[in-house]
Each structure stands twice: as structure tokens, then as C-alpha cells.
């Protein structure tokens, strides 16, 4: 299958999940993610506000606040450059032309990539080797190489978005993720824990 066909298939799979299944998945995902050693030792966490049928990340953000972590959210710029900015419960948000919620321009407090301990990465399709297909603009593929070597980089999605035992198409510019967390498990390379 092509990347576009896989994007379409996974979007439909996500949209087919019932509200109850989505809520249960978000809770299980949050518990699994926030028990990781990589999360526990992180002070500055780059997260994202879920969009559309994505796995809901709001409980992860709430957990980060309750644990005293500095929360960052992405801001996609028009040159396909992405930055992360400090986010608090009172930070004003705007809705972009793509329908994403982002920090309002007047509230942006950019944090350099080297100061990020933990980066959660959205995607449409993953495989159990860490390959990822995003939405096609390449924001994360450009940003992730700018992180420090010790930063924990973790893909986030429903288990139905992970293709097992069959590599997905990748371009030379695509960044492979060392770990993917779903509501059902943790994928490190080709092993599920």
C-alpha cells in the first residue's frame, strides 16, 4: 500500500472507534505512557493537543501539570518549521487554518530543542520497527533531528494504527521512532512489551 492509502485506511479506522472506546484508550494510554522511566525522569515535555480523531492527549497534559513538569506545545510555521512553546492552563490558544489548536502568537515562549527531555509525536500510521507516516507536511521529520541525543522520542496512537510484521513505506527524510506507545502496548523496535 502507498502512504496515501495507509493514511486513508488509518483515518477511517480511528474514526470508526466509538466515543467509549476512545475514552478508554486515552485512559489506558496515559497510564502506560506516564509510567515509563523516560517520562518519570523528564522535566520538560513536548506534547501535542490531539486533533480530530487522534488519541486524546489531554489527560497526559493534565498529568504533566500535576507532576510539576514544564509542558510545551508545537507551533507549525508557514515555512514548515516547527517550534515548541511553554504551555500552562491559562495560556491562550487560537485555532489555525488547519483546525489545530495552537498557542496564541502573543503568548509564545519558545524553548530550544536541546532543552526538551521528552517528545511525544503524533502520526497516522506506525509500524513495529518505529517507522511513522504523519500527515504529509514533514514538520516532525524536520524537528526531531534537532533534539539532543538523550531526548526520549515516543510515537503516540491507537493500537489499530500500528502495522505489525510489515514495514510501511518510508522516504529518506522520514525519522524512525525508537518507541511507540498505544493503549495496548509499547513498541520498541520490533518487540512489544
- Output the known binding site for substrate: 49, 54
In whole angstroms, give the CA distance from residue 167 to residue 129. 7
Q: Which cell goes with 15?
A: 474514526
Residue for grid cell 510545551: 72
> What is the rounded (10 degree) CA torsion for 156, 142, 74, 4?
-50
Q: Which cell goes with 56?
A: 486524546
In whole angstroms, give the CA distance from residue 150 to residue 148. 6
Annotated binding site: 49, 54, 132-140
**CA-closest candidate to residue 3, choices 142, 121, 131:** 131
First to last CA, the chain: 27
Secondary structure of residue 39 in the 3-state scheme? helix
Annotated binding site for ATP: 132-140
Amino acid at each position: 500500500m502507498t502512504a496515501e492509502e495507509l493514511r486513508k485506511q488509518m483515518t477511517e479506522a480511528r474514526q470508526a472507534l466509538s466515543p467509549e472506546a476512545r475514552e478508554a484508550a486515552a485512559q489506558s494510554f496515559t497510564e502506560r505512557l506516564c509510567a515509563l522511566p523516560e517520562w518519570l525522569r523528564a522535566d520538560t515535555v513536548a506534547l501535542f493537543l490531539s486533533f480530530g480523531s487522534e488519541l486524546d492527549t489531554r489527560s497526559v497534559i493534565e498529568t504533566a501539570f500535576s507532576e510539576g513538569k514544564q509542558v510545551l506545545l508545537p507551533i507549525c510555521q508557514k515555512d514548515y518549521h516547527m517550534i515548541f512553546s511553554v504551555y500552562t492552563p491559562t495560556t491562550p490558544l487560537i485555532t489555525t487554518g488547519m483546525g489545530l489548536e495552537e498557542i496564541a502568537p502573543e503568548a509564545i515562549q519558545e524553548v530550544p530543542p536541546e532543552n526538551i527531555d521528552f517528545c511525544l509525536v503524533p502520526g497516522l500510521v506506525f509500524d513495529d520497527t518505529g517507522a511513522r507516516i504523519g500527515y504529509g507536511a514533514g514538520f516532525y521529520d524536520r524537528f526531531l533531528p534537532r533534539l539532543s541525543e538523550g531526548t526520549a522520542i515516543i510515537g503516540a496512537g491507537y493500537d489499530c494504527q500500528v502495522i505489525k510484521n510489515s514495514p510501511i513505506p518510508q522516504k529518506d527524510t522520514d525519522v524512525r521512532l525508537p518507541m511507540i506507545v498505544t493503549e495496548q502496548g509499547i513498541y520498541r523496535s520490533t518487540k512489544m512489551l
